[in-house]
Amino acid sequence: MSRPRLLGLLAAILCVALAAALLRTSEAALDHQVVRGRLEQPVRVGTGEVVVDQVRVADRLSGDSSVAGRTPGLFVVVRVDAAAPGTEEFRLDEARLLTRGDRIYAPYQATFGLDAPPGFADRADLVFEVDPAGIAGLTLELWQSELVSGYQARVQVPLGITAANAGAWRDAGVRTAVEPDIYGRTRALT
């Protein structure tokens, strides 16, 4: 092989290696942007606004048969309000509860979905069944499912349960029943 051809081949191999390395290093650890919110405070995400509030704990769920039941652990019930104040509809249909460790809780109910048409807000309760020993630092994460996955924003709202008050939360859930509203209610924004 002539010298110029050898140099060209080496350059091509270097380019491929460089491209592969850049691709690898440019991959973000997360495939989404995290928008941090606070309990009872509206947080803007995409075309909508989210408010997370009314955190309740119980060891028994009453009301609708699809969620009614008991747990040896703890039910955490959270109210989520999704509003579409602009011209686009706003949808939130994926949720999970993050802990300080690796454990992640999926919703207890089979379905969850908030869908607010423009000028409306939709709200519903989310229920999680958790281990009472690890409730400090529980954080609710909400986002919108996508058919074609893109780089999306996810809302994370800490539920206000700290190591200092976790015991009080645990005690509050003993022999307590909560009736969650899992189907949601739509209201017009004023």
Partner 1 sequence: MSDPSRPAVTTAPPAPVLPPGRASRRGAWLGTAAVLALVLVYLTLWWGWASVHTAERYRQLPPGATGNRGDADYTVLGLQRTDRLRGGAGERPQQADAGTTFVVAAMSVTRRRSGPPLLCSVDLLGPGGRLWSPTLPQVQRAAPSCDTDDVVVGRPYRFESVFVVPAGDADQIRGVALTDRTSAGRTPVLRPAG
Binding residues vs partner 1 (CB under 8 A): 86-87, 89, 117-120, 186-190
Nearer to partner 1, 25 or 190 (CB): 190
Nearer to partner 1, 70 or 187 (CB): 187
Nearby residues of 103 by Cβ (< 8 Å), 6 or more positions away? 131, 134
Question: 85 or 137: whose CB is closer to partner 1?
Answer: 85
Q: Which two tokens stand for residue 23?
A: 């691709």
DSSP letter assigned to residue 107: P
Residue 78 CB, nearest distance to partner 1 (Å)?
24
Question: Whole-number minimum distance, CB 89 to partner 1, in Å?
Answer: 8
Q: Which is nearer to partner 1, 76 or 116 (CB)?
A: 116
**Radius of gyration, alpha carbons of the chain:** 23
Please report how close the Cβ of residue 88 comes to partner 1 at its closest, in angstroms. 8
Nearer to partner 1, 117 or 160 (CB): 117
Question: CB 86 → partner 1: shortest distance, Å?
Answer: 8
The least CB distance from residue 24 to partner 1, in Å, is 25
Strands (E), the chain: 32-36, 43-45, 48-61, 69-83, 90-92, 94-98, 104-105, 114-116, 120-130, 139-143, 152-158, 177-178, 185-188
Site of tokens 């994926």? 94
CB 184 within 8 A of CB 116: no
Q: What is the DSSP letter of 111?
A: -
